[in-house]
Structure 1
Amino acid sequence: MFKTLSGRFLILTVIFVMLAEIFIFLPSVARFRQDYLLLRLERAQIASLALLADDMISADLESELLENAGVFNVVLRRDEVRQLVLSSPIPAQIEATYDMRDPGALTLIRDAIMVLNNTANPIIRVIGNPVQDGGLLIEVTMEQGPLRAAMIDYGLNILALSAVISIITALLLFVAVRAFLVKPIRGVVRHITLYADSPEDARRIIEPSAGINELREAEEALKSMQTQLTSALRQKDRLAQLGEGVAKISHDLRNILTSAQLFTDRIEVSSDPVVQRLAPKLVNSITRAVHLCENTLAFGRAEEAPPKLERFSLSGIVSDVIDSERLSAGDYDLSFSEDVPSGLMLRADSEQIYRVISNLVRNARQAIMATGKSGEINICAADADDAWQIRVSDTGPGLPKRAQDHLFQAFQGGATKGGSGLGLVIASELVRGHGGSLTLQSTDPTGTTFVITLPKAEIKLSAKEM
């Protein structure tokens, strides 16, 4: 029970109520002592009225009056005259005098502590103001023992009352906590358990219903997390199915392209000048398509293959990309330009760099053609001290906000309608495989620029990075 939230509330409530009673115990006992002594003074004053009415009273009556008042003698000051009104033998010497005429709170608490700590039964003198203007001062002598006993009884009564109050309060809080906190929390836990059994089932997503603001915020946060997780699981499932389908298509497509590659080998021996000029590009395109199909088939078993580093001329790769995109653009008013030094040599995987640049240029071409306006795509490269940089710029409409927020996320960063965003994802992965980076340098309504940075230092790829 004490390990539960409501059980701990029960224990803490009892403890806190008892602590609160301890803090108010001393002021309460001090006030009780003050009232006790003032009552003795009042009784002594009433007892003295009998003598004031009749100057002569019997010894027995005087003794009875003092016993009823609980004092040994009574001194009354009237008209500046101090008069011993009632008296009886005092069994011991007076040890302390207490003035009850407007004492301070700290004085009352201190005197109460002294009374409780004194286990003897000393004789004390108490001074106070008479009630109803019955004189200037009244003074009595009495035993302290009965006062201490009464204070202890009062303290025990406070302790018992505090215990009863704390138990009742704790029980009420126990019931309230179970009704307003524990029950809703158990409901949330039950929702989490049901959702964990089948996270793909959207019907198991929690619907916030708590009346407590903090608990409702927790339910809303849980709903948001469950919604995102369900969506992610569905997307991963669809991606797995898509990957299986692509692998099957790539397998058959590879066989078809292999056959086409055999036919292109025959075309290369043609004597037609146009065929001789275009045939190598066709062969290279089909070869790349075959390699891409093979890589797609391997994608389900591992990530992108590590780059095969070799030195090659970047200008040749750029020329192949531009020639391919010119054919795709057809008669559209789109111009291509390049600013790549003819002697610039890269140490990288030529096929992967071709795919990176091709993806960027293709995205730029599709973005410009989607506007229906003319445009230009430029590829430039520079050789820095520690890295090679390749910039692909266009005069297209720029990337929309959603594409910028999900730039390198598959199926979320597409810039054109119907686009999947896979081109940038693939390009970024291939560049990272070289130890480099693909970054968006700028994008606005006047165009977009991507920068490929390839380090010159040889990168030794670990098994996790490959």
Structure 2
Amino acid sequence: MLNTLSGRFLILTIGFVMLAEVLIFVPSVARFREDYLSSRLERAQIASLALLAGETISPELEQELLRNAEVYNVVLVRDQTRQLALSSTIPAPISDTYDLRDPGGLELITDAMQALFSGGDRVIRVIGAPVREGGELIEVTMAAEPLHAAMIDYGIRILILSALISIVTALLLFAAVRRFLVKPIRGVVGAMQSYAAAPEDARRIIQPTAGVDELRRAEIALQSMQTQLTSALRQKERLAQLGGAVAKISHDLRNVLTTAQLFADRMEGSSDPTVSRLAPKLISSISRAISICESTLAFGKAEEPPPQLTRVMLADLVSDVLDGERLATGDAEISFAEDVPAGMSLRADPEQLYRVLGNLVRNARQAMVSQGRPGEIAISADETEADWTIRVTDTGPGLPEKARAHLFQPFQSASKRGTGLGLTIAQDLVRGHGGDLRLLDTGPEGTAFEIRLPKTVIRLDAAE
């Protein structure tokens, strides 16, 4: 708590408010002391009115008047004559004399601090001007103990009130700082942590939303830095793996053109009407080859374009993938199955998703053909409120231990014919969608991969 920005601000606010209250406390105590002594002078003047009227009072009444006024003696100066109006025995010598007729502010504060810290076991003389023109001067002697006790009580009440004001003020400021400063800062920190978790995901770059100018400038600067860093990371990765990148593109280009060649061979040797049915597939395969060539140009600039997200009917795309693989199966006893809801559509780049599924299905087919065993390759899909899930399963021999240890690393193929790039490419493309490709299970009974694509775009709300 104390190590947080809001916690330290709370402590500082309480301290500064208390300091302000202390600066107010000193003159307040001085004013209280002046009012207290002035009220004793006024009581003493009222108590002496009986003598001023020429009345004779008994000693008992005189002592009662002095007790009510809380003084020992009362002296009035009227018409240049000094009169001892009321008197009693003074228990101790007079230690200090205070003149309240025209005191200065500094004098009042000094006298108040002296009275507060000198104790109350003293007798003091107080001089003042009578009220309502009751004479030129009034003078009383009194014990300092009641004044000292009253000042202590007043000081305690002022300090308690000051503490309450400080705490309430600090809590209000604390809440305001957390709402308008700390939470936006936490939003920026959350954006930085989210970006650090996956700097290659451009969706995690912060979008400035702060209402405070300074924080908004910080968010804009962070956005610029993250954009440049993401670009630099991509460029560094491309430069470091330039050879691997060329091999990846050649791998996909070879596979797509191989499929096109199979379609062309079938059309060349056939005179039946299936030519009209296969022609669109040939055109589609050649178009994909052209798309990969265009991607090669962008890759050469160290800037692989992000996926162009559109709504894709998954059943149609899966059907295209499996149709191409059926032709490549030849005489092998391999069947293909699909379990995709007819109306299911997802948000993805159709060309990149085709490459992902094509790589997974092709790897499974090649593994089963190399073992000379029959089996089945299936693609299924479902969705939740959070994401779409696609599973590619086969009944092949499973992945060897060495392949599992380096599953998504380039040039780590499980077969002698492969280049070891299919899974690497697939994982890169899925990550570009903000999704995840993982191995669910593998063994003698077969292998299962799962693709998860998020439905929502990451959104960092700094205000919350």
TM-score, scaled relative to structure 1: 0.50
- Write the distance in 2 (CA, Å) between the matches of 1:55 and 1:245: 120
For residues 80-95 of structure 1, the aligned pairs below 5 Å read: 80-95=80-95
Q: Secondary structure at the match of 1:77?
A: strand
- Write the distance in 1 (CA, Å) between the matches of 2:83 and 2:140: 12
How many Å apart are 1:71 and its aligned residue?
Answer: 0.7
What is the aligned partner in structure 1 of residue 17 from structure 2?
17
- Write the distance in 1 (CA, Å) between the matches of 2:61 and 2:138: 20
What root-mean-square deviation, in Å, do the aligned CA atoms of Structure 1 and Structure 2 show? 2.3
What is the aligned partner in structure 2 of residue 179 from structure 1?
179
What is the aligned partner in structure 2 of residue 439 from structure 1?
none
What is the aligned partner in structure 2 of residue 339 from structure 1?
none
Q: Secondary structure at the match of 1:141?
A: strand
What is the aligned partner in structure 2 of residue 100 from structure 1?
100
Q: Secondary structure at the match of 1:222?
A: helix
- Write the distance in 2 (CA, Å) between the matches of 1:44 and 1:186: 66
For residues 284-433 of structure 1, the aligned pairs below 5 Å read: none
Distance 1:245 1:183, change over 3 A: closer
Corresponding letter in the other structure for 1:197: A
Q: Secondary structure at the match of 2:48?
A: helix
Corresponding letter in the other structure for 2:3: K
Distance 1:90 1:236, change over 3 A: same
- Write the distance in 1 (CA, Å) between the matches of 2:116 and 2:59: 34
What is the aligned partner in structure 2 of residue 137 from structure 1?
137
Corresponding letter in the other structure for 2:193: T
What is the aligned partner in structure 2 of residue 400 from structure 1?
none
Pair 1:149-2:149 in alignment: yes
Pair 1:71-2:71 in alignment: yes
Distance 1:223 1:80, change over 3 A: same
Distance 1:120 1:33, change over 3 A: closer
Larger Rg computed on CA atoms: 1
What is the aligned partner in structure 1 of residue 194 from structure 2?
194
- Write the distance in 2 (CA, Å) between the matches of 1:154 and 1:61: 32
Q: Secondary structure at the match of 1:140?
A: strand
What is the aligned partner in structure 1 of residue 121 from structure 2?
121
1:357-390 Cα shifts (integer Å, max 9, x gaps):
xxxxxxxxxxxxxxxxxxxxxxxxxxxxxxxxxx
Corresponding letter in the other structure for 1:79: D
What is the aligned partner in structure 2 of residue 57 from structure 1?
57
What is the aligned partner in structure 2 of residue 170 from structure 1?
170
Distance 1:245 1:212, change over 3 A: closer
Corresponding letter in the other structure for 1:74: V
- Write the distance in 2 (CA, Å) between the matches of 1:133 and 1:164: 43
Corresponding letter in the other structure for 1:104: G
How many Å apart are 1:25 and its aligned residue?
Answer: 2.6
Pair 1:235-2:235 in alignment: yes
Q: Secondary structure at the match of 2:83?
A: strand
Q: Secondary structure at the match of 1:56?
A: coil
1:282-309 Cα shifts (integer Å, max 9, x gaps):
xxxxxxxxxxxxxxxxxxxxxxxxxxxx
1:2-61 Cα shifts (integer Å, max 9, x gaps):
222222222222222222223333222222111111111111112222322343222222
Contact 2:120/2:148, CA 8 A, preserved across alignment: no
Aligned length: 249
Corresponding letter in the other structure for 1:221: A
What is the aligned partner in structure 2 of residue 335 from structure 1?
none
- Write the distance in 2 (CA, Å) between the matches of 1:218 and 1:84: 79
Corresponding letter in the other structure for 1:163: A
- Write the distance in 2 (CA, Å) between the matches of 1:133 and 1:224: 80
TM-score, scaled relative to structure 2: 0.50
- Write the distance in 1 (CA, Å) between the matches of 2:36 and 2:19: 26
- Write the distance in 1 (CA, Å) between the matches of 2:133 and 2:59: 28
Q: Secondary structure at the match of 1:92?
A: coil
- Write the distance in 2 (CA, Å) between the matches of 1:76 and 1:212: 68
Higher mean Cα deviation, 18-27 or 118-127? 18-27
Identity %: 71
- Write the distance in 2 (CA, Å) between the matches of 1:143 and 1:5: 52
1:147-182 Cα shifts (integer Å, max 9, x gaps):
111111111111211221122222222222221222
Q: Which runs of 5+ in 1 are unaligned?
A: 249-466
Corresponding letter in the other structure for 1:102: D
How many Å apart are 1:239 and its aligned residue?
Answer: 4.1
Corresponding letter in the other structure for 1:31: R
How many Å apart are 1:112 and its aligned residue?
Answer: 1.6
Contact 2:120/2:147, CA 8 A, preserved across alignment: no
How many Å apart are 1:237 and its aligned residue?
Answer: 4.2
- Write the distance in 2 (CA, Å) between the matches of 1:23 and 1:75: 37
- Write the distance in 1 (CA, Å) between the matches of 2:74 and 2:247: 114
- Write the distance in 2 (CA, Å) between the matches of 1:238 and 1:96: 91
What is the aligned partner in structure 1 of residue 218 from structure 2?
218
- Write the distance in 2 (CA, Å) between the matches of 1:120 and 1:114: 11
- Give the structure, 1 or 2, with the largest relative contact order (CA under 8 Å, sep 6 or more): 2
What is the aligned partner in structure 2 of residue 289 from structure 1?
none
What is the aligned partner in structure 2 of residue 43 from structure 1?
43
What is the aligned partner in structure 2 of residue 464 from structure 1?
none
How many Å apart are 1:243 and its aligned residue?
Answer: 6.1
Corresponding letter in the other structure for 1:51: L
- Write the distance in 2 (CA, Å) between the matches of 1:89 and 1:245: 111
Q: Which runs of 5+ in 2 are unaligned?
A: 249-464
How many Å apart are 1:247 and its aligned residue?
Answer: 10
- Write the distance in 1 (CA, Å) between the matches of 2:54 and 2:180: 72
What is the aligned partner in structure 2 of residue 26 from structure 1?
26
- Write the distance in 1 (CA, Å) between the matches of 2:234 and 2:122: 88
Corresponding letter in the other structure for 1:17: V
